[in-house]
Amino acid sequence: MKERLRRFFAENGGFTATEYAVVAFLVSILIAAGAKAIGAKLSINYLGAVAANL
């Protein structure tokens, strides 16, 4: 397993489809985490104000 990981990171032949998939997965995780954090803050700010005025 260590040998496979070493070869995976040592190759300089450009990205393969698997590497693109890994990068896309990591980017999607970051986007989802950011959206969740922003959504929670917006929910508290806007829905809290609406609920207080009901």
Mean pLDDT of the chain: 83
Residue 43: count other Cβ atoms within 10 Å of its Cβ: 10
Sequence-distant (≥ 6) Cβ neighbours of residue 15 within 8 angstroms? 23
Residue percentage of the chain with pLDDT more than 90: 26
pTM of the shown model: 0.53
For the record, the structure tokens of 29 come out as 């995780």
Residue 12's pLDDT band, with cuts at 50, 70 and 90, is low
**pLDDT tens digits, 34-44:** 999 888 888 77
**pLDDT tens digits, 16-25:** 888 889 999 9
Residue 27's pLDDT band, with cuts at 50, 70 and 90, is very high
